[in-house]
Amino acid sequence: MKGYHLGELEELILLTVGILDKEAYGVAVLEEIKNQTGRKVNISAIHTVLNRLEEKGFLKSYMGGATEERGGRRKRLFTLSATGRSAIEEVKNLRNKLFEQIPPLALDFSHGY
Amino acid sequence: MDTKLKHHPPKWPDRFLEFYCNPSRLEQIQGDAYELFYMNLEERGVGYARFRFFIHVLSFFRWGNIRRTRPSYQTYNHGAMFKNYMKIGWRNLLKQKGTTFISIFGLAAAVGCCLVAYLFIEQVWFKGMHQENKDEIYQITYTAEGENGKTTFGTIAEPISEMISEALPNVKAQTRIQIDLPILIHKNESYFQRAQYVDPGYMEMFTYSMLYGYPGALNEPEQVILTEELSEKLFGDTHPIGQEIALVSNGEEKIFKVGGVFKEFNDMEMFNFDLLVNISNRSNAELTLPLKDAWKSELWTFIQVENGTDLGDLNAGFAEMVKTQNKIDPENPYLSIQLESFNDLVKNSENIERGVVSFLAVAPQLLLAAIGTFILILAVFNYINISILMAFRRLKEIGVRKVIGSNKGQLIAQFLSENLMVCFMAIVLGCLLAAFIFVPGFNDIASKNLKIDLFNDAYIWLFLGAMLLFITLVSGLYPAIYITSFKPINILKGNQQIGSKSLLTSVLLTFQFTLAIISIVAGVAFVQTNYINSNRDWGYTSADKIIVNVPSSQDYIPLKNKLSALASVTEISGSQDFVGNWIREEEIVFQDEKYEISLLNAEATYPELLDLKLKEGRMFNPELISDTQESILVNEAFLDRLGLSFPVDEKITIDSASYAVVGVVEDFHTVFFQMSIEPMAIRASPDTTFNYLTLKMTPGTAASSMQAVKKIWHETIPRGLFTGKLQTEVFDHEFNDVKGVSNILLFSAILAVVLAALGLFGLVSLNMNSRIKDFCVRKVFGADLGDLSMKLAKRYLIIWGIASLLGGGLSIVLVSTFLNSFFAFNSGVGVIPLGLGLLVLFLVIAGTVSSQIWKIVRANPASILKAE
């Protein structure tokens, strides 16, 4: 199968951008990840990944939304592209497919080894 | 929110971020970093926030974020942009035809002047630069112990040239060069011509373009090559090849055939001559000189080496030459022999005695360069003034452009590209002006042969390129930067002061006026001095006298006898030098003190014949033996120098013989007015032969008898050159020289005034245009003509006043120094030149202002005020 290769962080960020829906930019993504997963990711890592995902075509971006906190600078807002959406679904489906193939026994820890 | 106002992200990390970050990502990254900073600030306090900001900046320092050599956003089309600059510039120039013309014409005139000055300086310093083989040609020079330590000589013992072919490897061609002034006789007319005696190798080494004949003509010893000028003088339209001429040198006559004619030289040639002669024809060449005498005779020797020769290879040969020379002629020992590159002959001319180039003519170079710079400054100031004013009319354009997003650099580029266009046109026009008016005019005045040679002269392109760059930047940079520094909001609101009253404009105008005044004063003072000098009393009567040269002593008596037989000759007298020319200097001793004075040896009748004015004592009495042997006449300057008054009791010693002063004559001019009158003694010499004869003619017959005198002279001395002239003509040459200088000065004064006038006209009319409504309103309310004129003229009159003081003061200092260095007798900077300078400038201002006021007078205020 020709897959969408996504790294772990890439997948996480792609999902977060999907969640934030038109409000996704560097700091927002950072906060969302922190709130949802408790993980502290470096802002520069997030930027790098966002840019890389955009290059791969999973994300689209536009400039907008200047705020005072940013010293009047605009945010680069990211949204999922069609490819991005299908990539998430693909990944999710793949996971599910694989998960469902795990024999029930393997998940049953009551036997105790 | 209070904290936000108080605290900002740390500056240095922020700047670092701005420095390294790729501009396309900067906004995003910096924005996030700021946001995080303020978040951290609220949660954890200032210190932590700052620290985290710093960490963030560092962590953003990644390859993908770093700005690299070519930021991606700068991929816009430069070609189109420049085209746009040019197009806008061109439209702008066309819109302002009058002012554009003023700028271009002024700059072009300045470029033309600078070009003449440049050409003049170039022909002094880059002599010979057009020779094809210049890099392979060397002059052989030697160093010897001279009076002032080690001295290098450009001439070298003649037999050394015979050793070259054996001693020196890799020599392609060699030539000896000797300059002589033989008398050239053609069809019974004789001329003095500069002949250059050379080996046939000369024509291999140096390249000249031939008009007729072939370069190898010198291989035949009896052939000569003439310059075009000489050929035209001798043969006119007839074909010169094969014609015969005779050369007389040291009394020997030889017949030559013309083997070739060079095309006209320009002044870039290293050697100046009228004809080339094979060196085997020198008058003493056939005599077999004793060996030692042959080594005593020195001349220039040039060699051409093979391309790429290591000059070190020649050293062994030179050492051998030095050894041979010092053995044969031990009284004049050489220290070393070396080569002087052809290219360095001018540059090193000060270090080489008896070299090819001895006279660098620094003073005229300075004068011309000064005039060129003067005019250039005037024109550039004009242009700066006008372009600032022009730019003020485009303030709105600048404002709009700035708002749309042009940065300062782009606006400056727009202005500079317009400047570049103007300067380019000015340079093209300047070259045309120079080629067709200035250079021919200057050649005429200075009897030079300068030429603008665009095809062969790489330096002139460099010069023109440098001029273009220089004028563009100097005249354009300040206005461009000044104009573009305004804030768009002020411009568009109309708050920006229209700066026609700016200080800079006034300063520049003052400077221009000052320069104009100085150049007018210089020109007028020079002309005035010339006028006064041409009417100056020479101290004796120059009318009705003819001076005749006597080439050798055996001709003296026959010539004198034959000339005395001429009916119109009333008196005749001989002298060693003649009044009106250089007189030799001699040392005299008086009361054990030594003095340098001019000493004129002459027949006892000479002072009286010349009508010198006797002041005290008496003239010589030819009958008295004591008078012809131990008496002198002196001039007033002589008494002043020695501090004597007339009856001089003590004797004066000249050449260890003592003389009594029998009379004092009034000061008279022996040399031109550039020199002061030197102390002078006239000695009635007992000699019976002299170099010159002076004839006193019956009144009014001098000019008409000249032909007869010349005929007798040629009958007596068939192989000689007659250089006789009227006593009234002795200063003609100097008068012409001085006239040339005064023409140049007058020309530059006129140009300076025209430039100042043009600049003023441009300023006033621009000023007027921007204030025409103001004036019309005043007119409507009944202001009369005088008020309006005063209003417009006031500023310029103030500037005129300041410039008058400055220019007057400066010109008194500068011009009188200049005059003093030129003339011992001058009129100084008096009322006439100063007054004329100020008046001319005043008239220029009055004329310019009234031409503009006339506009108002004719204007219908209704139509002007209704517009818009």
Mean pLDDT of B134-146: 85
Mean pLDDT of B470-478: 86
Confidence band of A112 (pLDDT split at 50, 70, 90)? low
The two structure tokens encoding residue B231: 């050929």
Q: CA–CA separation, B317 vs B301, rounded Å?
A: 15
Q: B195 pLDDT exceeds 60?
A: yes
Mean pLDDT for the stretch of residues B16-30:
84
Chosen for mutation from A47, A50, A59 (greatest number of chain B CBs closer than 10 Å) is A47
Q: Percentage of chain B surpassing pLDDT 90? A: 3
Count CB atoms within 10 A of the CB of residue B367: 18
CB B505 within 8 A of CB B513: no
* Inter-residue contact B690 to B575 (CB < 8 Å): yes
Chain A positions touching chain B (beta carbons under 8 Å): 25-27, 30, 42-45, 47-48, 51, 63, 67-71, 73-76
Q: Give per-residue pLDDT as tens, B563-620.
A: 888 888 888 888 888 888 778 888 888 888 888 888 888 888 888 888 888 888 888 8
Q: Which of B28, B37, B54, B58 to mutate against chain A (most A CBs within 10 Å)?
A: B28
Cα dist from A64 to A22, A77, B24, B26, B89, whole Å: 10, 7, 14, 14, 38
Which domains, and CATH codes, for chain A? 8-97 (1.10.10.10)
Distance CA B685, CA B576 (A): 9
Indicate if ipTM > 0.95.
Answer: no
B59 at interface of A, judged by CB pairs closer than 8 A: yes
Question: Between A and B, how many residue pairs show a Cβ–Cβ distance under 8 A?
Answer: 64
| 3-state per-residue secondary structure call for B23-52 | HHHHHHHHHHHHHHHHHHHHHHCHHHHHHH
Contact between chains at B31 and A73 (C-beta distance less than 8 A): yes
Question: What residues of chain B, 592 to 651, have a C-beta less than 8 Å from chain A?
Answer: none
Q: Is B693 helix (H, G, I), strand (E, B) or coil?
A: strand
pLDDT, position B427:
92
> Which chain B residues are Cβ-neighbours of A74 within 8 angstroms?
27-28, 31
CA distance B700 to B568: 10
Euclidean distance between CA atoms B43 and B53, whole angstroms? 14
Query: What does the alpha-carbon distance between residue B552 and residue B561 come to, in Å, rounded to a whole number?
Result: 15
- The pLDDT score that the predictor gives to residue B614 is 84
Confidence of residue B442 (pLDDT cuts 50, 70, 90): confident
- What band does B74 get if pLDDT is binned at 50, 70 and 90? low
- Whether residues A43 and B36 touch (CB distance < 8 A) is answered with yes
| Residue B502, CB-side half-sphere exposure with 13 Å CA sphere | 18
Region B379-391: mean pLDDT is 83
Given the structure tokens 């029930």, which residue do they identify?
Answer: A104
Q: B716-735, pLDDT tens digit by residue?
A: 887 777 878 888 888 888 88
Nearest CA of chain A to the CA of B62: how many Å?
A: 9
Reported as a pLDDT band with limits 50, 70 and 90, residue B28 is: confident
What pLDDT was estimated at residue A1? Answer: 39
Residue A26 to residue B32, Cβ atoms within 8 A = yes
Q: Which residues of A touch B60 (CB under 8 A)?
A: 43-44, 47
Q: Which residues of A touch B65 (CB under 8 A)?
A: 44, 47
- Which chain B residues are Cβ-neighbours of A35 within 8 angstroms? none
Q: Mark yes or no for CB contact A42/B59 under 8 Å.
A: yes
Q: Which residues, including other chains, have CB under 8 Å from residue B790's CB and lie 6 or more apart? A: none
Q: Which chain A residue's Cα is nearest to B9?
A: A71
Those residues whose C-beta lies under 8 Å from the C-beta of residue A5, and which sit 6 or more positions away, are none
Confidence of residue B222 (pLDDT cuts 50, 70, 90): confident
Alpha carbons B660 and B663: distance in angstroms, whole number: 9
Residue B773: per-residue pLDDT: 80
Supply the pLDDT for residue B1: 44
pLDDT computed for residue B501 by the predictor:
56
Give the best residue of B3, B4, B21, B35 to mutate against chain A (max A CB count within 10 A).
B35
Please compute the mean of the pLDDT values over residues B650-679 and round it to a whole number: 82
Tell whether B11 is within 8 A of chain A (Cβ).
no
DSSP class of B203: H
**Residue B633: which of B657, B611, B654, B607 has the closest Cα?**
B607
Optimal mutation site among A23, A25, A59, A70, interface B, most CBs of chain B within 10 A: A70
Instruction: With cut-offs at 50, 70 and 90, classify the pLDDT of residue B205.
Output: confident
Closest CB to A44: pick one of B4, B27, B59.
Answer: B59
**Helices assigned H by DSSP within B771-784:** 772-780
Instruction: With CA atoms as reference, report the closest residue to B647 among B664, B670, B630, B668.
Output: B664
Task: Give the number of other CB atoms < 10 A from CB of residue B315.
Answer: 15
